């Protein structure tokens, strides 16, 4: 609309909308909206009484690239007629039928089936007095000219009969282009339909029965700044769960349902102290890719961390915080030429490589570099094994690369490895250190001063990890004593999730809740008579939960507030807010009955979440809210300029 598009040229085609978004649509006079459940009718009746609702039915091509009917659309035979009746009873104006056969449709006949259902439902809707003048055929149309299911085939699907607008004769062609068939039912009405004469508001259950009466609000003593970010300074330490409850209560009092990320800065210091206690001989170089949050970076810089950067942008983010170049390692074995030149401009010298071609680039664009050879030694059970993409064979390829570096005049100063993000087998570090010892001896034979061992990442971020950090640290200490006793080498590592995961807690709001047969969730027909629930929250896999796709994570959330005692648990699905059925956060999860406006709490959400989050479909990223105790604030403030 900011581009000058009128409201009557928009359709709000999300059947499960946030209350505040519905109210915003009313403010901007966007009337056409889709729905597929009774709960949505109640929200619309309360927050947008002038809406023109379009009932979305589930008719999908099961072979489509992205089928959508698991998340959206009601059954066109059993549920849709009932919803039309309920809309009539609630005084909500229904003006048409919508469907989406699936993104990347492969079977054009799905459109015919859907249109046949639409015709039948239009007749039912008109029986309730609705002017059913809109058919919304959704998407699924191919984008590539070479598609195996070309657009022309979709357009010329077998002829079927579509009910026309009132007063017109039956049409025999499936096209809905009003230029070719002026009497046809329209995709967009020529003018907004008048609202029904009266709207009967129905009270909507906005919150489940949770215990909040005992919440005592913590007084924030002062607000401070780290960089340009506001920090709430607390008189004493408060558990993250308690603090999130207090923030949620405050947001509720202002009718603010946006998701947020609590960042407990004291926990960053706790993790740093744990590292120095268990591995005092190893310098941590934080893996910036894990989470580029500016406050996290500044706190770690103040504590004395180095930084593992993988791009020009990450180098600039860190150095713009005042970090010196010798505290950075450019730990990407395959770098863009312009990025190598940028590293030279900023005097970042430590860089990794694992192939001959990289040596040639470095020799040309950064002759003063100090190269670290990355070898492939990985834990095959790690959450994210990395040796398929990075690292050379430590036995066959690495000695040859050291020889080639000598011949090309490139300075090699050490050995690097990464056992895999989310390491499960600590013995992988021992194997890697043994290879590093052998290769250091070979490199020294070529005249290199092999004075750096970079142990990469793989360190757990959650305190309750099944492979605790203390166990990994013990294995590493023993291996160092075995292979590098009394060493003068500089030992570094690249922990990412170790620092980033725990301090961040995500709180998301339930924007929609609907009851379904449990069989729809369990896929077990025997559960058909049992109740199940589908909840939609305002963060998903296109946002903070991208870690499900890219980091193989399995976030586990639970109600932010205590539920009533003896509340039964029911099988549930947690969906993200976008219109993509891929946006699934948790499935087949047991939860007590929740309601619109309730909050879900997800701890340990700082690693590989915000760093890759998008605003797809127009949904915002959660806002970080930083807190720190007064005692810790004074220590950090006095130690360095932040």
For residues 297 and 84, give the distance between their C-alpha atoms in angstroms, rounded to a whole number. 54
Short-list 72, 65, 61, CA closest to 101: 61
For residues 603 and 507, give the distance between their C-alpha atoms in angstroms, rounded to a whole number. 9
Burial class (CB in 10 A: 0-12, 13-18, 19+), 88: middle
447, two tokens: 């005249």
Asked if 579 is an active-site residue, the reply is yes
For residues 60 and 76, give the distance between their C-alpha atoms in angstroms, rounded to a whole number. 11
Name the pairing type of β-strands 134-136 and 452-454.
Answer: unpaired
| Cβ 546 vs Cβ 494: under 8 Å | no
Give the other-Cβ count within 10 Å of 474's Cβ. 14
Residues 6+ apart with CB under 8 A from 207: 595, 596, 597, 598
DSSP assignment letter at 103: B
Please give the sequence-ordered ranges of beta strands (E in DSSP) within 322-433, or none if there are none: 328-330, 350-353, 370-375, 412-417
For residues 390 and 437, give the distance between their C-alpha atoms in angstroms, rounded to a whole number. 20
Instruction: Return left, alpha or beta for 566; rule: phi > 0 is left, psi -120 to 50 is alpha, else beta.
Output: left
Across the strands, what pairs with 513?
535
| Cβ 589 vs Cβ 610: under 8 Å | no
Q: What value does the CA radius of gyration of the chain take, rounded to a whole number of Å?
A: 29
331, two tokens: 């730990």
For residues 294 and 316, give the distance between their C-alpha atoms in angstroms, rounded to a whole number. 12
Q: What b-and-e string marks burial along 406-428, b requiring 16 or more CB atoms within 10 Å of the CB? A: beeebbbbbbbbbbbbbbbbbeb
Across the strands, what pairs with 135?
97
Q: Maximum CA pair distance of the chain?
A: 94
For residues 423 and 402, give the distance between their C-alpha atoms in angstroms, rounded to a whole number. 28
Residues 6+ apart with CB under 8 A from 252: 597
Given 74, 105, 547, 579, the catalytic residue: 579
For residues 512 and 577, give the distance between their C-alpha atoms in angstroms, rounded to a whole number. 9
DSSP three-state, residue 257:
coil
Catalytic annotation, residues: 579
């Amino acid at each position: 609309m900011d581009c000058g598009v009128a409201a009557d040229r928009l359709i709000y085609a999300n059947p499960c909308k946030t209350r505040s978004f519905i109210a915003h649509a009313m403010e901007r006079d966007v009337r056409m909206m889709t729905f597929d459940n009774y709960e949505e009718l109640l929200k619309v009746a309360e927050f947008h009484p002038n809406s023109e609702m379009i009932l979305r039915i589930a008719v999908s091509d099961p072979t489509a690239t992205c089928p959508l009917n698991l998340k959206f659309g009601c059954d066109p035979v059993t549920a849709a007629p009932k919803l039309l009746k309920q809309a009539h009873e609630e005084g909500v104006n229904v003006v048409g039928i919508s469907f989406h056969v699936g993104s990347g449709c492969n079977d054009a006949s799905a459109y015919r089936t859907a249109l046949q259902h639409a015709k039948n439902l239009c007749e039912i809707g008109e029986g309730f007095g609705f002017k059913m003048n809109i058919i919304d055929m959704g998407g699924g149309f191919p984008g590539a000219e070479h598609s195996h299911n070309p657009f022309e085939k979709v357009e010329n699907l077998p002829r079927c009969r579509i009910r026309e607008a009132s007063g017109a004769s039956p049409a025999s062609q499936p096209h809905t282009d009003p230029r070719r068939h002026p009497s046809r039912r329209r995709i967009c009405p020529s003018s907004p339909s008048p609202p029904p004469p009266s709207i009967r508001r129905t009270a909507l259950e906005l919150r489940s029965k949770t215990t909040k009466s005992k919440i005592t609000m913590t007084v924030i003593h002062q607000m401070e700044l780290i960089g340009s970010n506001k920090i709430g300074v607390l008189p004493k330490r408060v558990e993250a769960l308690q603090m999130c409850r207090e923030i949620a209560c405050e947001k509720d009092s202002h009718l603010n349902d946006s998701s947020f990320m609590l960042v407990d800065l004291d926990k960053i210091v706790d993790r740093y102290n744990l590292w120095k206690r268990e591995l005092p001989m190893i310098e941590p170089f934080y893996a910036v890719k894990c989470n580029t949050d500016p406050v996290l970076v500044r706190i770690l810089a103040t504590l004395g961390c180095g930084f593992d950067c993988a791009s020009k942008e990450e180098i600039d983010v860190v150095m713009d915080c005042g970090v010196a170049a010798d505290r950075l390692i450019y730990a990407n074995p395959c770098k863009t030429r312009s990025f190598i030149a940028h590293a030279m401009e900023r005097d970042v010298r430590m860089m990794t490589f694992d192939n001959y071609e990289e040596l040639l680039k470095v020799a040309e664009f950064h002759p003063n570099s100090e190269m670290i050879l990355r070898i492939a030694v990985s834990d095959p059970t790690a959450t994210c094994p990395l040796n398929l993409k990075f690292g050379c064979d430590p036995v066959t390829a690495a000695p040859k690369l050291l020889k080639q570096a000598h011949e090309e005049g490139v300075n090699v100063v050490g050995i690097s490895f990464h056992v895999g993000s989310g390491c499960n087998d600590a013995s992988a570090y021992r194997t890697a250190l043994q290879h590093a010892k052998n290769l250091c001896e070979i490199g020294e034979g070529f005249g290199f001063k092999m004075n750096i061992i970079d142990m990469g990442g793989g360190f757990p971020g959650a305190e309750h990890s099944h492979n605790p950090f203390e166990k990994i640290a013990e294995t590493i200490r023993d291996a160092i004593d075995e292979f590098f006793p009394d060493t003068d080498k500089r030992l570094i590592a690249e922990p990412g999730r170790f620092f980033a995961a725990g301090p961040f807690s995500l709180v998301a709001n339930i924007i929609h809740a609907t009851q379904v047969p449990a069989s729809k969730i369990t896929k077990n027909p025997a559960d058909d008579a049992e109740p199940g629930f589908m909840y939609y929250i305002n963060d998903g896999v296109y946002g903070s939960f991208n870690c499900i796709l890219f980091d193989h994570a399995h976030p586990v959330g639970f109600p932010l507030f205590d539920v009533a005692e003896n509340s039964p648990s029911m099988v549930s699905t947690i969906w993200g807010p976008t219109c993509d059925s891929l946006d699934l956060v948790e499935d087949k999860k047991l939860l007590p009955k929740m309601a619109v406006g309730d909050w879900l709490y997800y701890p340990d959400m700082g690693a590989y979440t915000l760093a890759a989050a998008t605003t797809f479909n127009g949904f915002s990223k959660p806002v970080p809210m930083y807190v720190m105790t007064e005692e810790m604030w004074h220590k950090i403030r006095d130690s360095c300029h932040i």
